[in-house]
Every structure is written in structure tokens, then in C-alpha cells.
């Protein structure tokens, strides 16, 4: 009998420590990845002059390592994606949470989840075959392999994130808010626009940030449709030109680069920049959530 | 050429499991240097050995022996709607360096030129830069126009050329599909426009073609001799064709 209890205790300890180890492992992995990125990327600053890194020419086989065109490329593609995804994403969330009858909601919600699960290479493939020729003809562009094409595909990746998180935020707005607005004679749209959306503002903001975070790090679809020309985009009209993103650069060049070469280190430096930018986006998103929670606690107390 | 060397090595090792072949990339110069240092048995090179390299080898008591193991032609392709059917090598260079930006400047329609290239890590990209953009002049430092689209795959280039009447692209002859238009090219100072084919590559009349070499230290012996013999066999030359290069036999 005592033996049985002892065995049970040992089993318990082992399981608890296993759970604890897997919990800590996530932190350890992130730290190890960051350490590896730093150790491979930071030597760039010793080997490649800063003036080369901030130039506007990226042509690594002749030692031109200007990072600005790549950073600009990533920013403009993400900017375009945000332009498309934010209105569509929020309006879809409003429709699902506030307007749609529950039967439609039951169909729409899983469909959005399916969209979130689409492999991005599949989106890229559809992009090349359908969107690229279509955009070239409709917008009368020299080529359809432009930033905007990438933006539209990325919007497809960001929308499910924005919709499902915004929808949760809208759903958690207390029923009494809407009832009060409607009782004061507000129309359904006025209630949504003036009451429900502002009340869910922080959750919607988080949704937008997380959606943007996803687009910034996306690689495959972007590499297939943006043309990958390392041109420095200086204004929003570059949405209609080919651009090269940081993610596509790493994906295209890492496979052939000699380990330990300048080019190899520069690619890791790009990795660090990507890591930091996504980290900042995620921190902003969670800071918003944190603020919202504190506000709710204040109201409740 | 590393793909070809890898393709051969893999196929040969399945027939002769007792032979171990390891292939390393790094470029023709790296391969020849390793042969001279005695760290490699065979150097794969997409250019012929330089005189100074032969000199260095001789001081190391190594006599490099040359084998032409395959050939490689690069086709310049445009959309089938494009009325242009021939270009000089200089014109192709001017298109890709950004001096010519409209098909009208070449007697074609008034359309902007969209330049397509393989990614910079592709051997074809480097060869095209050296032999077409810079016309084989090692002093020349011209670069691809910065708005040249760098596509990750041959399929990407063929698809865009097929769909877009503004586009021009290039790729290994083996990758060219029937739904794009191949351009006849004339060499520097010549007016003889030649289409790439196995024949015109064979008789050296097509200007954007090169031999691919293997070098051994002295006359090959034993396993190396067998391997080189196999590479020139029909079976190995079929791999050449499959990988988009041109067989020597």
C-alpha cells in the first residue's frame, strides 16, 4: 500500500517535471535561435563596411550588400497587404459578429479557418497563374510580378488572423452596450460604428498587429510573385513595381552561399532584422492586450 | 555545373556502390585550385584552365589533363507575340544593362522591356553576366539593370515570358518549352544570326555556349579512369540531357 502511494508520487513528480521542461523548452529554443542568429549575423559589422550596408544596391555576387532595397521591399509589400487586409478583415469580423444570422455565422467561421490553413505556396501558385496576368492587363502594367500582387496574396494570409481575433473582441463587448445604444434610438450601423467597434478597439488593434506580423515574415508566396528585383521603393507608387523582400532574399540565396562568407553573414543579419521587427510587432500587439485587460479589471472593481 | 557533377556522382554510386564520390561546389577556380593542391582527384570547371594555373600545377608536379564532358547553351527567349526574332549579342547586353528600355528601339512594338533573369546564385546567371552583359571582357564591371526581375526557377521565367509580351528571358536550352519564342543571336561583329540547337552548339556557331570540363592530375588511372569513361558513355550523357545541358556525343 505505501509502495503504491510512493509509486504514484514518483509518477506524479516525473510527469510534472516533464510538463515543466516542455514549458521552459520554448523559452530555451527562442534564446538559442536568437543566439545563433547573433553569432552568425553580427560578424557582418566587422567584415562589411556600414556604408556598403546602407547603400541602395543589392548584388551579393559582386559584394554589393545594400540592405535598404530589401527592407523597403518588405515594408511596401506589408503596407499594401495592410491596406487590403485591414478594412476587409474588420468588416468581415463585424459582419460575422454583429450582422450575420447565426446560421450564416456557423458556415462563415469554419471557412475563414480553412483560409488560414491554406499553404502559402498554393496561394503563390494561384497568384502566378491567375493574379499576375490579370493585374498586368487590368492595370496596364509592364509586368504583373509587382509588390501589389504580393500584397494581395499576403492579405489573404492576414485576413483570417484579423477576422478571428477581431470577431472574438467584438463578441466580448457586453450585450448591454448594444441594447443601450439601440434604446437611445441609434440605428444598427450607428451602434456598430460608434459603440461596439470602439469598445472592442484594443482587441481589433491586436488583431491588426498580429495580421501584419504574419505578412511581414511570409516568404514563399511573396518570392513567387513580386519579381524579386532589388529596387529601392521610395514612395507608395512602387506598389506597382517589382520589389525584393528580406524573406525572399534569404530563401533564394541561403541555399548556395558558402558558410562563413561575407554574404552568409549578411543573410543572417537580415534574419536578425526580421526577427527584431516581428518581435516589436508582437510586443505592441500584446501590450495592447495587456492595457485592455487592466482597463477591464478597473471597470469590474 | 555542380548539379551535373552531383547528378553523375549519384547515378554512378548506385551502379558502383564500392566507389565513394564526394562533390563540393565553390566555382571553377576552387575546383582547379583543389586539383593543383592535390585535395581533389577531379576538378569540374565550366571554363578551360588558365595558363597560369597550368604553370602552378607544373611546379607541384601535376600535369592537368582536360576532358570535355558536356556542353551548355543559353537560349534567349521572348513572348511568341513579339515580332523581334533576332538580336546581336551587344543588343542583348544593352537590354539587360538597362541601356535599351523599349522594344521600339530594336524595331519592335512600342512596349516597355521587362527583363527576367535567374537568381544570382544560379551558374547561368553568372555566365550570362560575364559572357553576355560584359561580352567576355573581364575588365568590364557592368551589372544587370536593377529592375531586372530575379526569378527563383526556370518555370517562373518560362511562365512569365509565355504570358507577357513585354518580357525577355534566358535559360539553359534544355529548359526551353515550345510555347515561348527563341531568339537567333549573332556574335560580336558578325551579322550571322544563329538559333541555338544541338547542331549549332556542336559547330560553335551559336555564341552563348560553352564547354564543361573535368580535369584530372595526370592521365587518369583505376577508378577515376573508369568514372571518366562512364561519364562519356550514353547512359551518363543522358543525365546531361535530363539536366538541360548538351551531350558531347
Model confidence pLDDT, tens digit, residues A264-293: 899 999 999 999 999 899 888 888 776 766
Strand B209-217 to A64-65 pairing: unpaired
- A231, A242, A255 member nearest B121 (Cβ): A255
| Calpha distance A112→A105 (Å, rounded) | 10
pLDDT of residue B249: 67
**Mutate which of B119, B127, B129, B145 to disrupt the A interface (most A C-beta within 10 Å)?**
B119
pLDDT of residue A293: 66
- Interchain proximity B150–A253, CB inside 8 Å: no
Nearest by Cα to A272 from A59, A62, A107, A41: A41
Is A233 an 8 Å CB contact of chain B?
no
**Beta-carbon count within 10 A of B145 CB:** 20
| Calpha distance B40→B57 (Å, rounded) | 13
**CA B172 to chain centroid:** 7
Q: What is B135-153 written as a DSSP string?
A: TT-TT------TT-EEESS
More confident residue, B29 or B148: B148
| Calpha distance B249→B247 (Å, rounded) | 6
Helix axes A132-139, A147-171, angle to 10 degrees: 110
- How many CA atoms, within 13 angstroms, populate the side-chain half-sphere of residue A24? 5
Above 90 in pLDDT, residue B156? no
Banded pLDDT at B27 (limits 50, 70, 90): low
Please give the average per-residue pLDDT across B156-167, as a whole number: 92
Q: How many residues does chain B have?
A: 249
Above 80 in pLDDT, residue B25? no
What are phi and psi for residue B189, nearest 5 degrees?
75, 10
Q: Which residues, in sequence order, are bridge partners of residue B181?
A: B78
Question: Residue B114 in contact with residue B167, Cβ under 8 Å?
Answer: yes
pLDDT of residue B148: 94
pLDDT of residue B203: 84
Percent of chain A with pLDDT over 90: 57
Is A49 an 8 Å CB contact of chain B?
no
Q: What is the ipTM of this complex?
A: 0.80
The H-or-E segment that residue B58 falls in is helix B51-59
**Mutate which of A227, A243, A244 to disrupt the B interface (most B C-beta within 10 Å)?**
A227
Is A132 an 8 Å CB contact of chain B?
yes
Q: What tens digit of pLDDT does each residue of A206-258 get?
A: 999 999 988 998 888 999 999 999 999 999 999 999 999 999 999 888 766 76
Residue A67 cell numbers, joined? 540592405
Above 70 in pLDDT, residue A296? no
**CA A164 to chain centroid:** 14
Where residue A282 falls (left for φ over 0; alpha for ψ -120 to 50; beta otherwise) is alpha
Above 70 in pLDDT, residue A2? no
Partners of A251 on chain B (C-beta within 8 Å) are 152
Residue B26 cell numbers, joined? 565553390
- B126, B149, B151 member nearest A61 (Cβ): B126
| Calpha distance B5→B46 (Å, rounded) | 11
- Interchain proximity B147–A231, CB inside 8 Å: yes
- Interchain proximity B163–A133, CB inside 8 Å: yes
pLDDT of residue B36: 85
Buried b / exposed e over A178-197, threshold 16 CB at 10 Å, is beebeeeebeeeebbeebbb
- B25, B114, B125 member nearest A142 (Cβ): B114
Banded pLDDT at A63 (limits 50, 70, 90): confident
| Calpha distance B64→B42 (Å, rounded) | 10
Partners of B111 on chain A (C-beta within 8 Å) are 142
Percent of chain A with pLDDT over 70: 93
The residue of chain A with its CA nearest to that of B26 is A258
Partners of B25 on chain A (C-beta within 8 Å) are 256
Q: What is A229-277 written as a DSSP string?
A: ------SGGGGGS-B--HHHHHHHHGGGSPTTSHHHHHHHHHHHHHHHH
Q: What tens digit of pLDDT does each residue of B46-87 get?
A: 777 878 788 888 888 889 999 999 988 899 999 999 999 999
Partners of A136 on chain B (C-beta within 8 Å) are 163-164
Check the CA dihedral B234-B237-B239-B243 and report its sign. Answer: negative
Residue B82 cell numbers, joined? 513579339
Is A136 an 8 Å CB contact of chain B?
yes
Above 70 in pLDDT, residue A295? no
Q: Is B127 helix (H, G, I), strand (E, B) or coil?
A: helix
Question: Residue B198 in contact with residue B205, Cβ under 8 Å?
Answer: no
- For residue A301, give Cα distances in angstroms to A173, A176, A293, A295, A297: 17, 18, 12, 10, 6
**Mutate which of A142, A240, A244 to disrupt the B interface (most B C-beta within 10 Å)?**
A142
- For residue B209, give Cα distances in angstroms to A9, A43, B85, B176, B199: 75, 39, 19, 15, 12
CA distance A209 to chain B (A): 30
Q: Which residues, in sequence order, are bridge partners of residue B182?
A: B77
| Calpha distance A139→A67 (Å, rounded) | 29
Nearest by Cα to B129 from B119, B24, A16: B119
| Calpha distance A214→B4 (Å, rounded) | 38
Mean residue pLDDT across chain B: 88
pLDDT of residue B119: 84
pLDDT of residue A3: 62
Q: What tens digit of pLDDT does each residue of A144-178 get?
A: 999 999 999 999 989 999 999 999 999 889 989 99
Above 60 in pLDDT, residue B227? yes
CA distance B163 to chain A (A): 7
Q: What tens digit of pLDDT does each residue of A198-209 get?
A: 999 888 999 999
Q: Is A6 helix (H, G, I), strand (E, B) or coil?
A: helix
- B121, B164, B166 member nearest A252 (Cβ): B121
| Calpha distance B180→B82 (Å, rounded) | 10
Is A225 an 8 Å CB contact of chain B?
no
Q: Which residues, in sequence order, are bridge partners of residue B102?
A: B112
Largest Cα–Cα distance of chain A, in whole Å? 83
**How much of chain A is in helix, strand and coil states, percent to nearest 5?**
80, 0, 15
Amino acid at each position: 500500500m505505501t509502495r503504491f502511494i510512493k509509486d504514484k508520487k514518483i509518477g506524479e513528480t516525473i510527469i510534472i517535471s516533464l510538463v515543466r521542461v516542455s514549458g521552459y523548452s520554448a523559452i530555451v529554443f527562442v534564446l538559442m535561435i536568437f543566439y545563433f542568429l547573433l553569432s552568425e549575423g553580427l560578424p557582418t559589422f566587422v567584415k562589411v563596411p556600414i556604408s556598403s550596408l546602407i547603400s541602395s544596391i543589392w548584388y551579393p555576387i559582386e559584394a554589393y550588400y545594400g540592405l535598404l532595397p530589401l527592407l523597403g521591399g518588405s515594408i511596401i509589400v506589408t503596407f499594401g497587404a495592410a491596406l487590403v487586409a485591414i478594412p476587409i478583415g474588420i468588416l468581415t469580423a463585424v459582419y460575422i459578429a454583429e450582422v450575420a444570422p447565426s446560421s450564416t455565422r456557423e458556415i462563415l467561421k469554419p471557412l475563414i479557418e480553412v483560409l488560414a490553413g491554406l499553404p502559402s505556396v498554393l496561394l503563390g501558385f494561384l497568384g502566378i497563374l491567375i493574379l499576375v496576368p490579370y493585374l498586368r492587363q487590368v492595370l496596364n502594367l509592364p509586368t504583373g510580378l509587382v509588390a501589389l500582387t504580393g500584397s494581395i496574396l499576403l492579405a489573404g494570409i492576414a485576413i483570417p488572423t484579423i477576422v478571428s481575433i477581431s470577431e472574438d473582441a467584438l463578441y466580448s463587448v457586453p450585450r448591454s452596450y448594444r441594447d443601450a445604444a439601440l434604446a437611445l434610438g441609434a440605428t444598427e450601423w450607428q451602434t456598430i460604428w460608434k459603440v461596439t467597434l470602439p469598445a472592442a478597439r484594443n482587441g481589433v488593434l491586436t488583431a491588426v498587429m498580429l495580421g501584419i506580423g504574419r505578412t511581414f515574415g511570409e516568404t514563399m508566396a511573396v518570392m513567387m510573385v513580386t519579381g524579386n528585383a532589388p529596387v529601392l521603393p521610395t514612395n507608395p507608387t512602387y506598389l506597382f513595381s517589382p520589389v525584393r523582400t528580406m524573406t525572399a532574399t534569404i530563401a533564394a540565396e541561403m541555399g548556395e552561399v558558402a558558410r562563413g562568407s561575407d554574404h552568409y553573414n549578411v543573410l543572417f543579419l537580415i534574419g536578425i532584422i526580421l526577427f527584431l521587427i516581428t518581435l516589436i510587432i508582437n510586443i505592441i500587439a500584446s501590450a495592447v492586450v495587456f492595457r485592455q485587460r487592466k482597463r477591464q479589471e478597473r471597470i469590474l472593481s | 555545373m555542380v548539379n551535373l557533377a552531383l547528378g553523375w556522382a549519384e547515378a554512378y554510386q548506385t551502379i558502383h556502390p564500392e566507389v565513394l564520390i564526394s562533390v563540393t561546389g565553390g566555382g571553377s577556380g576552387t575546383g582547379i585550385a583543389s586539383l593543383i593542391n592535390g585535395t581533389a582527384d577531379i576538378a569540374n570547371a565550366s571554363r578551360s584552365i588558365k595558363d597560369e594555373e597550368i604553370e602552378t600545377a607544373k611546379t607541384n608536379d601535376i600535369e592537368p589533363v582536360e576532358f570535355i564532358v558536356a556542353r551548355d547553351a543559353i537560349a534567349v527567349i521572348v513572348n511568341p507575340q513579339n515580332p523581334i526574332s533576332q538580336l546581336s549579342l551587344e543588343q542583348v547586353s544593352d537590354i539587360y544593362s538597362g541601356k535599351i528600355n523599349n522594344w521600339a528601339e530594336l524595331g519592335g512594338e512600342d512596349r516597355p522591356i521587362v527583363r527576367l533573369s535567374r537568381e544570382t546564385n544560379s551558374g547561368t546567371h553568372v555566365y550570362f553576366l560575364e559572357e553576355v552583359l560584359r561580352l567576355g571582357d573581364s575588365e568590364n564591371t557592368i551589372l544587370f539593370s536593377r529592375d531586372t526581375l530575379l526569378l527563383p526557377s526556370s518555370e517562373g521565367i518560362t511562365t512569365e515570358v509565355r504570358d507577357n509580351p513585354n518580357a525577355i528571358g534566358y535559360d539553359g536550352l534544355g529548359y526551353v518549352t515550345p510555347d515561348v519564342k527563341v531568339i537567333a543571336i549573332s556574335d560580336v561583329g558578325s551579322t550571322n544570326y544563329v538559333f541555338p540547337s544541338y547542331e549549332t552548339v556542336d559547330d560553335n556557331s551559336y555564341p552563348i555556349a560553352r564547354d564543361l570540363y573535368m580535369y584530372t592530375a595526370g592521365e587518369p588511372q583505376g577508378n577515376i579512369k573508369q568514372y571518366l569513361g562512364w561519364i562519356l558513355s550514353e547512359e551518363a550523357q543522358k543525365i546531361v540531357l535530363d539536366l538541360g545541358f548538351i551531350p558531347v556525343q
